[in-house]
A and B are shown apart, each in its own frame.
Chain A
Amino acid sequence: MSIALNFSPAEIPNAIATFKAVIIDNPLPSILLFGSYILYYVYLFINHKAADSEIYEIDLLSAGISSFMIGLLLLGVSEESKTLSLSSFNFSSGTSVYALMLMGYALLLILFAFVKILPRVVVILLGNSELDFFINFMAIMLTQQGVAITGTLMVLVAVPLIILLIIQRVRRAL
Chain B
Amino acid sequence: MNFKKLKKYHVSVFTNNLLITVVLIFLFKRYHQNDVHLLSLITVFLALFVAFFLIINYMLKEVEKNFKLMPDIKFLAFNIGITAVISLMMIKELGWYGVLFVVIFAACFFQLEHMVRRVRQ
- Judged by a CB distance under 8 angstroms, whether B36 is at the interface is yes
B20 touches A66 (CB 8 A): yes
Q: A36 near B22 (CB under 8 angstroms)?
A: yes
**A31, closest chain B residue (CB):** B22
Contact of A66 among B14, B55, B112 (CB under 8 A): B112
**Interface residue from B33, B36, B55, B113 paired with A145 (Cβ < 8 Å):** B33
Inter-chain contact B112/A65, CB cutoff 8 Å? yes
Partner of A61, one of B19, B27, B48, B56: B56
Q: Does A73 contact B (CB under 8 A)?
A: yes
Closest to B118 in A: A58
Determine the interface band of chain A, counting residues with CB < 8 A from chain B: 35 or more
Would B19 and A37 count as touching, CB distance under 8 A? Answer: yes
Partner pick for A29 among B26, B55, B60, B112, CB 8 A cutoff:
B26
Tell me whether B22 and A33 are in contact (CB under 8 A): yes
By a CB distance below 8 angstroms, the chain A residues around B25 are 29
**With A43-B11, A47-B8, A50-B8 known to touch, is A136 a contact of B23 (CB < 8 Å)?**
yes
* Residue B4 at the chain A interface, CB threshold 8 Å: no
Q: Beta-carbon contacts of A36-74 to B below 8 Å, as 1s and 0s? A: 110110010001001110001011011001101110111
CB of B76 within 8 Å of the partner chain = no
Q: Which residue of B26, B37, B56 has the most chain A CB atoms within 10 A of its CB atom?
A: B26
By beta carbon, the residue of chain B nearest A95 is B30
Q: Does B121 contact A (CB under 8 A)?
A: yes
Residues on A with C-beta less than 8 A from B33 are 145
- B8 and A143: CB pair below 8 A? no
Q: Which 6 A-B pairs have the closest CB atoms?
A: A36-B18, A40-B15, A143-B30, A62-B116, A33-B22, A36-B15
* Extra pairs beyond A43-B8, A144-B30 (5, CB < 8 Å): A36-B16, A58-B59, A65-B112, A84-B37, A139-B23
